[in-house]
Structure 1
Amino acid sequence: MTMMLDNPAWTLVDRLKKSRLLAGLEQSDLADACGVSRNTISNWETGRSEPSASAFVRWARTTGVTLEWLAEGIDYGSEG
């Protein structure tokens, strides 16, 4: 998935949720892919906690976004 959603105002919480929604995944689907509970996904998406490094990588791979975009909101692979 190409992210043409460069918006520096988006927080990590925003990017986590938007990447899941754009991938067409329910929280339970992503939880299964990341090896955590649906409640954990909810906690990450609301900022109550943050994913571990390994879960962060699984999230990016599962939702089809780059780690750079997910972490920083920057898509280094896009032009413009």
Structure 2
Amino acid sequence: MQDRDTTDTNWFSDDAATFGDRLAAAREAAGLSQSDLAQRLGIRKKTLIQWETDRTEPRANRLQMLAGMLGVSIRWLLTGEGEGIELDEDGQPLRRDAAGVIAEIRELRTALGTIATRLGQLEKRLRETTDKDLA
């Protein structure tokens, strides 16, 4: 019996996962609930559940919409090959939580505003000091 090295396993390949598995993983990585994704696609939640449980598959036009909304390639959804979701060092999908990104952007804007204000104060102080030295 031959030992297989599982460190290089493609957990989302055809051998290890189904279309439904990849769809659910991509949806979760995108930070979407089943209800959210179904609403965005204009389908019933029941239909999405059937796709994720491999009872049915979407038509080509919905498949293209899914890939675009989830940031993965159609090929990856179907076969596990190509551009799919990113995995962390433990092989778990990285969440691309839009709310988290937006919160970080807001924090950075606030910090940038504070830094710009402080920079302006220091420049003014430097000018005043330089003007006094020249007088």
TM-score range, shorter chain: 0.7 to 0.9
CA shift, 1:51, in A, is 0.7
Structure 2 regions of 5+ residues with no counterpart? Answer: 1-8, 85-135
Q: Say whether 1:35 aligns with 2:42.
A: yes
Identify the residue that residue 53 of structure 1 maps to in structure 2. Answer: 60
| SS in structure 2 at match of 1:49 | coil
1:23 to 30, 48, 55: 30
The Cα RMSD (Å) is: 1.9
Per-residue CA distance 1:10-64 (angstroms, 9 max, x = gap): 1111101101010000111111121101111011101111111111111111111
Structure 1 regions of 5+ residues with no counterpart? Answer: none
Q: Which has the higher helix share?
A: 2
TM-score (norm 1): 0.81
Q: What is the identity, as a one-letter code, of the residue corresponding to 1:63?
A: L
More relative contact order in 1 or in 2 (CA 8 Å, sep 6+)? 1
TM-score (norm 2): 0.50
Q: What is the identity, as a one-letter code, of the residue corresponding to 1:6?
A: N
| SS in structure 2 at match of 1:39 | helix
Q: Which runs of 4+ in 1 moved over 6 A?
A: none
Whichever of the two has the greater Rg, that structure is 2
